[in-house]
Amino acid sequence: MRRNTFLYIPNIIGKIKKPIGAFWQWEQSNRFFLLYLTSFLLDAADGYAARYFHQSSELGALLDMLTDRCATAALLTLLSHLYKQYVLIFLFCIVLDGFSHWLQMIAGLASGTTSHKQAGRFTLLKIYYWRPVLTLACLLNELCFLCLYLLHFLSSSSDWSKLVHIVFYVSLPICILKQFISLLQVWSSYIIIFDTFTST
């Protein structure tokens, strides 16, 4: 008997992850940070659970991508409110993140390939899709945005502020690199979609 995909362990973790987002209270920085970080760690956990229990599914992958995009967009929208002078940068990141992942999904459906096989001619994408690199890049990208959030509330003279500044400056280059990688993903997806439809 085929098991209900909704009852897969990684999808259950995903269901737990979503309600956590409902308790985000951006005015209370400590609570927001802990809840967002917990949600992010659960996101990593459901991927490992899917591989460990052999419960990977298209539904799980789609739900995972959707919740990730919503969470990142929510955080970036919040940052655009806290740092109004950089609102265009945050809006660009929201659009780029959503569009690149959506286009990858379309390219995958059109060609029948996974995102890892969509790297094509781009060596940087092939390196990026190696799991340890992908995990570290995503972690540092989120940490960069979270540090920006915390720095808005922390006193500049506090020890915590100094630590958060260090983490921010360490993660910032990776965050910038990840935006460039998103542009490569858009380009690569366009090539795959074009090749798929012109060869049929």
| Cα 83 from Cα 105, distance rounded (Å) | 31
Positions annotated as catalytic residues are 68
Rounded to 10 degrees, what is the CA torsion of 70, 109, 128, 95? -40
| Cα 34 from Cα 43, distance rounded (Å) | 14
Going by C-beta distance under 8 Å and a sequence separation of 6 or more, which residues neighbour residue 82? Answer: 148, 149, 152
DSSP-based three-state secondary structure for 77: helix
Residue 161: its H or E element: helix 159-198
DSSP-based three-state secondary structure for 4: coil
First to last CA, the chain: 37
